[in-house]
Every structure is written in structure tokens, then in C-alpha cells.
Amino acid sequence: MTSQRPHVLLKFISLFSVVRVNNIFLMVLAQYLAAIYVLNGSLSFKEVLFDKSLILIVFSSAASIAAGYIINNFYDRKKDFINRPHKSMIDSMVSDQTKLGVFFATSALAVVLAYIVSVRALFFFGSYIFGMWIYSAFLRRYPILSNIISSLLVVTPFLAITIHYRSFDTVIFVQAFFLLLLLSSKKIVKDMKSLQGDMAANLLSIPLKYGIRSSKNLFYGLLFFVEAVSLCIVNYFLIGHMIYYFWLSALVVPFMMFLMKNATTTRQFWLIDNTFKVWVVIGVLSLALFDATI
């Protein structure tokens, strides 16, 4: 009995690695910060925190995202074995059959929780899960479309919160567009550092199809629009102290372009990708600085 406990524990660790619990936690945090500080209007902190429908939407989002990571991991086995061998070894402790079982279980949990909220929420999250499966199984073969769809899938859970509060101010969509551009830029860097794995898995990414130079030019173009949107928000929208994040973003863009200009090795692309991760995390935390009353 005792000899089996470490084995079971390792399987749980493996499953947590597959679903990327840290990313799900960040998304849940981002949804609650957006609900409390950006979208809820005049509701108090307590009213938002204990809003039963919001709790169900957030849990449905978390279950959906977990399902998305599982199905993506299922299709990325060969690629991850080359690009992330240590993580791949941990992930492989859970069988593909178990992963698919957990995928269907988390998907079912997501749609049941959504149904408790409303039929509209059921349709929303059912479509979201189906979209993640379509992306993982088919759409990743088309480089530019894959980049756009993967970024949209990350932003989609925020749309659920926006619809829940019926908050459709222009500034919200401008910030969503900013995030979409940021994620699309990050995806190009991720593809650059994953060239060997993509080649082995026969996945045609943007760098593989168009080359590193063209990919860098596309990266510069996306960051140019990130800069433009940052300055647009700074100059035309009143968002409280969150404005400092967009001032910071306007300064980070040239730095990221400089890093990319001189990047030639996988390690340098990893550095750029990790810088993006920090940039996104700071953006999530800065939601608490948003002031909707201005």
C-alpha cells in the first residue's frame, strides 16, 4: 500500500503539470480583478466576490481551460518531448487514456456549471471547449490562423465576464485588443524557440513556413501596433493608475524589439518569451489599479 502512494502522488503532480495549474490560477485572478475593478459598475467588493453566477462562470472557465490544456498536451506529445523534455517526462506519467478521461470530465463539469448559470452560458462554454479541440486537432496546421485563434482562445474567458456584467465600454475592447496583440507577438516568439519540436511533429509554424527574418518582421509589426494602442489608451482613456502599466508597455516595446533584433539562439528566444510572461502578469495585477469612476 505504501509503495503505491508515491506513484499516485507522482500521477497527481503529472496531471497538475498537464493542466498548467499556475496559468489557470492567473486566469482566475485576472477574471476576478476584472470583475471587481473594471466591469461590475457600482457593485461592492463583497457583492462581486459572492456573486453565485460569477463564481460558476469562473469555475466553468477554469474547467474549460484545463480541458484545453489537456487536449493540447495530447496532440503535442512529440513536440514537447523535444522542446521541453523534463516537463514531457513528468506529463507522460499519466497515460493518454487517463488524459482523455480527465478531458471529458472537466469538459462535462464546465458545461454543467455553465448550464446552472443559463442556457446562453452553456452554449458559450460548449462552443469554447469545442473551439479548443478544433484548434488543437486541426487549426494548428495553418500558421497565421493558428496564431490568431490561439490568442483569441486565451482572451475568450474575459468575454464571458464582460457578457455577464453587460459592460461594453470602448476602453474594455481596446484593452482586449491590446492583449490580443501582445499574445500574438508572444506566440511568434514561442514558435521561434520551438522550431526543432515543430519540425519533428510536422507542425508548420510561422517561422518554419516564412523563415526567421519574415517572422521577426511580423513580430516588429505587431509590437508597433502594441505601442500604438498603448499610447492611444494613455492619451484618450481615463483608467486611473492603470495608465502607468500602459506607459510601461510603451517603454517595453522598443526594448523587446531590441532583444528580438539580436536574437539568434533558442536561449535568447526563451528570454524574450519569459519577458512577455512577466509583462502579461504585471498587466493582470495592474487591473487592480483600474478606476472605473473617473
Q: What is the pLDDT of residue 1?
A: 46
Distance CA 166, CA 56 (A): 17
- Measured N-to-C along each axis, helices 170-193 and 143-165 cross at an angle, to the nearest 10 degrees, of 150
Q: Which helix (H) or strand (E) holds 139?
A: none
**What's the pLDDT score for residue 276?**
94
- What's the topology of domain 1-167? Tetracycline Repressor; domain 2 (1.10.357)
- For the chain, what are the domain ranges? 1-167, 169-294
Positions of the chain with pLDDT under 70: 1-8, 10-12, 41, 78, 80-81, 83, 85-88, 90-91, 292-294
pLDDT digits (tens, 9 = 90+) for 237-288: 989 999 999 999 999 999 999 999 989 998 999 999 999 999 999 999 999 9
What is each CA distance from 5 to 2, 101, 260, in whole angstroms? Answer: 5, 21, 46
What pLDDT is recorded for position 217?
96
Rounded CA-CA distance 207/219 in Å is 11
The per-residue pLDDT for 99 is: 85
Q: Are 143 and 188 in contact (CB under 8 A)?
A: no
Note the pLDDT of residue 216.
95
Residue whose C-alpha cell reads 523587446 in the numeric block: 256
Q: How far apart are CA 205 and CA 269, in angstroms?
A: 15
* CATH of span 169-294: 1.20.120
Q: What is the pLDDT of residue 214?
A: 94
**By the 8 A CB rule, do 24 and 66 touch?**
yes
